[in-house]
Amino acid sequence: MSVLRAVNVGRPRPAAWTTIGRTSIDKTTVHGPVAVGELGLAGDEVSNRRHHGGPDKAVYAFAREDLDRWADVLGQPVPDAMFGENLTTAALDVNGAEIGERWRVGDATGDHAVLEVTMFRTPCQTFKAWLGRNGYDERAWLRRFADDLRPGAYLRVVVPGTVRAGDPIEVVHRPGTGVTVTSWFAEVMQRPLEVDHPVSG
C-alpha cells in the first residue's frame, strides 16, 4: 500500500549563499495533521516566487525509495525532507505518475486531500548548494540529478483537506496519456529515456 511517510514544511530563512538571499528548502517534518490549501501546506512558504509555488506547484512529492538510492550513491544517509520535498512517499510510483494523475491522500471517509500531478521538479543552484552545505558531494549535481530521471512531482490541490504521516495514498484517476513525470522530464532535459528505466515504487 502506498503511504505518506512524512509531511515537511519550511519558511523563508536568510541564506547569503542563494541568489535571492533566502530559501525555504530547509524543511522540518511535522508530526500531526497538516492542512492543505490551494497554495500548499499550512506552515510552508515559498521564498522564490518567480520559480516556485503557485497553484500548479503547491506541493512537492519525492519518493523515500529514491532518497535511499541517492544515499547509496552519495555514501551517507539522506533523511526525509533533505531534497526540500513537502511529501515523502513510500511505495508510490511518483516518477511513473502521469501528468494529470490524481492522488487521494488520507482515508476516503475522512478529511482527506486530492492532489493532481502537474509537472516535474527542475534542479537549481540552491538545491546544489544546500546539499554541499550539508556535507554531500554536490559536484556536477544538476547534471547528475537530471541524468537520474527521478525528479519528483509537483502537485496541484484539487480538493483541500488535511494530511498526516501514515495516511494511505490512492491513485484515484489516471488520464491514460502515457506522459509521465519521467518521460516529460527526459524530453525537456534532453536525456535518453530507456524503456526499462526503473522508477520508484
Could you tell me if residue 74 is inside a domain? yes
Q: Does residue 201 form part of some domain? A: no
Residue 20: how many CB atoms within 10 A of its CB? 13
Return the exposure string of 69-102: e unless at least 16 CB atoms fall within 10 Å of the residue's CB, then b: bbeeeeeeebebbbbbbbbbbbebbbbbbbbebb
Q: Which three cell numbers stand for residue 96?
A: 511513473
Residue 198 domain-assigned?
no
The domain that holds 49 is classified in CATH as: 2.40.33.20
Give pLDDT tens digits for 42-59: 999 885 666 666 899 999
Q: What pLDDT, in 10s, does the model give residues 81-130?
A: 999 999 999 999 999 999 999 999 998 888 999 999 999 999 999 999 99
Alpha carbon distance 34, 7 (integer Å): 8
Residue 75 lies in a domain: yes
Grid cell digits, residue 99:
501528468
How far CA 86 is from CA of 3, 7, 25, 201, in Å, comes to 14, 6, 10, 18
3-state DSSP call for residue 145? helix
**HSE of 13, CA atoms in CB hemisphere, 13 A:** 12
Determine the average pLDDT of the residues in 164-174: 98
Element housing 58 (H / E)? none
Domain count, the chain: 1
Rounded Cα distance between 70 and 74, Å, is 6
Note whether residue 163 is domain-resident.
yes
Residue 194 lies in a domain: no
- Please indicate, yes or no, if residue 200 is contained in any of the structural domains: no
Q: What is the pTM of this model?
A: 0.93
User: Domain range holding 8?
Assistant: 3-188
- Is 197 a domain residue? no
